């Protein structure tokens, strides 16, 4: 459903918002806001939150303080560019995003250091020659937070800075990233990039797409129609690479969280660029992942087998829940989908609820660094969709550092630090 060109008043006349915003009276429906055409977040939920803020909702006002504090901290940082790195990747140009596998070290007994050896958990400082991994994380977070802060406050310094960061990373000829990930998670001597490096983007890039959709709902000061057209074009080329290149195909067919995230990212870009059939096709793959990754009792055996089982159970589930939000934009309901053994996304969230409320004591699987708030957004997302167990748990959840802003960007995020690929 794409509402972006309609005002809320028109939607209410069509009977849509009356159901969507149960707390609102007639007067509020005259609030003339465009519904952002976001691909993960349901855009009307942004309008709902803005309206509630306007009416003085206390919880959202507290969340807005957290959001603007985060946005303010980004005002003095960036923009970032792939062209700032020390050197181009092997077989690539300075415009290619590049990152190096952090746990691989040169061989001390050969003159050229080849072949590199893996030392798990020990970070090789040589990876800093490719600063793109660090820069891109800041680009992802800052554009999202700044766009949201502009949306709720109308303060143009936020949208102007978001636009500046976006143009520098994606659009300006001198500094733009090429739309591919051929050189991510390089292991020197062994390769010039790997398919698993796509997760450098897939875990957070879809936030940037929503950030741009939010800016487009303005129009926001600093972000023009021309900028948007160029950004859509960049994403069409990136999507073609993700969907059809050998690395893209390999990553999206991985059977663990790499596949869940890659497939979710493809679906998001398909919706954003208007490739409906590709998005629908990816929702079928997503159903297959629910069948194969989640059991009837909601456990995710592949993730439970890891040394950071709580982190990874939440990580994979976050991709599933975001995919379910995207699928709704093409009329597919994954929240209500049931696998052949009765597997559902709600069951997978419910499996995590005791530890989300009760902490490490309630988690009996291996976990090297239990972080209770890792589950907070997933539980909120299920509660928002009406799962009663999740609803009952919301009050007992732990907020992440920097405060709980779920109400202002109602799509789940991986809130604890993201483990680096090996
Ligand atoms: C990639 O670069 C390496 C060294 O920089 C070179 O040996 C190799 O032939 C190149 N491979 C391709 C496919 O161009
Ligand atoms: C981005 O935000 C996530 C949580 O939302 C956090 O874990 C991560 O550290 C942040 N990264 C940067 C570079 O700010
Ligand atoms: C949708 O994406 C697929 C995969 O890249 C491509 O083959 C197809 O032509 C695209 N369709 C449209 C309408 O752009
Ligand atoms: C959940 O189901 C799986 C697969 O059937 C099983 O191995 C596991 O023991 C079950 N876990 C719980 C806590 O019931």
pLDDT value, residue 418 = 67
Cα(315)–Cα(93) distance, integer angstroms:
32
Pocket of ligand 3 (CB under 6 A): 240, 243-244, 275, 278
Through-space distance between the first and last CA atoms of the chain, rounded to whole angstroms: 39
Strands (E), 41-102: 98-100
Cα(379)–Cα(353) distance, integer angstroms:
7
Q: Would you say the CB of residue 91 lies under 6 angstroms from ligand 1? A: yes
Q: Which residue minimizes the CA distance to atom 9 of ligand 1?
A: 91
Comparing C-alpha atoms, which of 359, 262, 257, 264 is closest to residue 313?
A: 257
Q: Which tens digits make up the pLDDT trace of 341-360?
A: 999 999 999 999 999 999 99
Q: Which tens digits make up the pLDDT trace of 135-166?
A: 999 999 999 999 999 999 999 999 999 999 99
Residue 258 CB partners (closer than 8 Å, separation 6+): 196, 198, 199, 202, 251
Q: Which residue minimizes the CA distance to atom 11 of ligand 3?
A: 275
Structure tokens at 258: 């790499």
- 170-177 contacts: CB < 8 A, separation 24 or more? 170/230, 170/231, 170/234, 171/227, 171/230, 171/231, 171/234, 174/83, 175/79, 175/81, 175/82, 175/83, 176/81, 176/95, 176/234, 177/81, 177/82, 177/95, 177/96, 177/97
**Ligand 3 centroid to residue 232 C-alpha, Å:** 14
* Ligand 3, pocket-test mutation among 245, 246, 278, most atoms within 8 A of CB: 278
Q: Would you say the CB of residue 415 lies under 6 angstroms from ligand 2? A: yes
Structural domain includes residue 378: yes
Q: Which residue minimizes the CA distance to atom 14 of ligand 1?
A: 91
What mean pLDDT value characterizes the chain?
Answer: 92
CATH of the domain at 263: 1.50.10.100
Structural domain includes residue 109: no
* Ligand 3, pocket-test mutation among 237, 275, 277, most atoms within 8 A of CB: 275
Comparing C-alpha atoms, which of 310, 311, 258, 265 is closest to residue 289?
A: 258
User: Counting Cβ atoms within 10 Å, is residue 289 exposed (0-12), middle (13-18) or buried (19+)?
Assistant: buried
User: Counting Cβ atoms within 10 Å, is residue 87 exposed (0-12), middle (13-18) or buried (19+)?
Assistant: exposed
CB 215 within 8 A of CB 36: no
Please state the φ and ψ torsions of residue 322, each to the nearest 5 degrees: -65, -40
What DSSP designation does 220 have? P
CB 118 within 8 A of CB 152: no
Q: Which atom of ligand 2 is nearest to the CA of 417?
A: 7
Structural domain includes residue 27: no
Q: Which tens digits make up the pLDDT trace of 50-101?
A: 999 999 999 999 999 999 999 999 999 999 999 999 999 999 999 999 999 9
Structural domain includes residue 384: yes
Cα(311)–Cα(377) distance, integer angstroms:
13
What are the residues facing 367 on neighbouring strands?
308
Q: How confident is the model at residue 121 (pLDDT cuts 50, 70, 90)?
A: confident
**Ligand 3 centroid to residue 277 C-alpha, Å:** 8
**Ligand 4 centroid to residue 294 C-alpha, Å:** 10
Q: Would you say the CB of residue 190 lies under 6 angstroms from ligand 1? A: no
User: Counting Cβ atoms within 10 Å, is residue 117 exposed (0-12), middle (13-18) or buried (19+)?
Assistant: exposed
Q: Which atom of ligand 2 is nearest to the CA of 413?
A: 5
Complete DSSP assignment for 186-204: E-TTT-S--GGGGHHHHTT
Place of tokens 């969907």: 243
Q: Out of 253-257, 350-354, 365-369, which region has the weakest mean confidence (pLDDT)?
A: 365-369
Pocket of ligand 4 (CB under 6 A): 295, 297, 299
Structural domain includes residue 366: yes
Structural domain includes residue 166: no
Cα(198)–Cα(183) distance, integer angstroms:
9
Q: Which residue minimizes the CA distance to atom 10 of ligand 3?
A: 275
Work out whether strand 183-186 and strand 98-100 pair parallel, antiparallel, or are unpaired: parallel
**Ligand 4 centroid to residue 312 C-alpha, Å:** 17
Q: Which residue minimizes the CA distance to atom 13 of ligand 1?
A: 91
* Ligand 2, pocket-test mutation among 63, 74, 137, most atoms within 8 A of CB: 137
Q: Which tens digits make up the pLDDT trace of 289-335?
A: 999 999 999 999 999 999 899 999 999 999 999 999 999 999 999 99
pLDDT value, residue 105 = 96
Structural domain includes residue 195: no
pLDDT value, residue 31 = 54
Domain count, the chain: 1
Structural domain includes residue 393: yes
**Ligand 2 centroid to residue 293 C-alpha, Å:** 26
Q: Which atom of ligand 1 is nearest to the CA of 90?
A: 5
Q: Which residue minimizes the CA distance to atom 3 of ligand 4?
A: 295
Cα(311)–Cα(300) distance, integer angstroms:
12
Domain of 392, in residue numbers: 259-421
**Ligand 3 centroid to residue 274 C-alpha, Å:** 9
């Amino acid at each position: 459903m794409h509402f972006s060109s309609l005002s809320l008043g028109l939607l209410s006349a069509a009977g849509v918002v009356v159901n969507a915003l149960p707390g609102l009276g007639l007067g509020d429906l005259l609030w003339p806001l465009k519904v952002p055409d976001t691909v993960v977040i349901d855009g009307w939920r942004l309008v709902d939150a803005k309206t509630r803020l306007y009416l003085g909702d206390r919880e959202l006002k507290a969340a807005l303080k957290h959001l603007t504090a985060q946005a303010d901290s980004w005002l003095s940082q960036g923009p970032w560019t792939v062209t700032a790195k020390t050197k181009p990747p092997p077989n690539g140009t300075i415009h290619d995003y590049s990152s190096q596998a952090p746990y691989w070290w040169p061989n001390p007994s050969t003159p050229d250091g080849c072949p590199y050896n893996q030392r798990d958990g020990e970070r090789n400082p040589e990876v800093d020659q490719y600063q793109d991994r660090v820069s891109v994380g800041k680009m992802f977070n800052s554009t999202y937070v700044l766009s949201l802060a502009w949306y709720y406050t109308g303060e143009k310094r936020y949208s102007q800075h978001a636009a500046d960061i976006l143009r520098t990373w994606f659009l300006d000829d001198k500094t733009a990233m090429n739309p591919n990930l051929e050189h991510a998670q390089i292991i020197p001597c062994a390769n010039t990039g790997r398919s698993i490096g796509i997760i450098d983007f897939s875990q957070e890039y879809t936030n940037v797409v929503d950030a741009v959709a939010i800016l487009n709902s303005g129009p926001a000061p600093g972000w023009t129609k021309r900028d948007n057209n160029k950004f859509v074009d960049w994403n069409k080329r990136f999507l073609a690479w993700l969907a059809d290149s050998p690395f893209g195909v390999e990553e999206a067919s991985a059977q663990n969280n790499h596949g869940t995230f890659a497939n979710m990212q493809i679906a998001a870009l398909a919706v954003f660029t208007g490739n409906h059939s590709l998005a629908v096709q990816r929702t079928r793959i997503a159903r297959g992942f629910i069948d194969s990754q989640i059991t009837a009792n909601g456990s995710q055996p592949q993730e439970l087998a890891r040394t950071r089982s709580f982190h990874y159970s939440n990580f994979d589930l976050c991709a599933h829940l975001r995919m379910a939000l995207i699928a709704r934009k093409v009329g597919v309901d994954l929240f209500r989908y049931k696998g052949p053994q009765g597997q559902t996304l709600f069951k997978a969230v419910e499996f995590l609820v005791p530890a989300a409320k009760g902490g490490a004591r309630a988690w009996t699987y291996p976990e090297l660094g239990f972080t209770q708030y890792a589950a907070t957004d997933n539980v909120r997302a299920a509660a928002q969709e009406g799962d009663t167990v999740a609803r009952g748990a919301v009050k007992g959840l732990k907020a992440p550092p920097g405060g709980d802003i779920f109400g202002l960007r109602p799509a789940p995020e991986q809130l604890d630090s993201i483990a680096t690929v090996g």
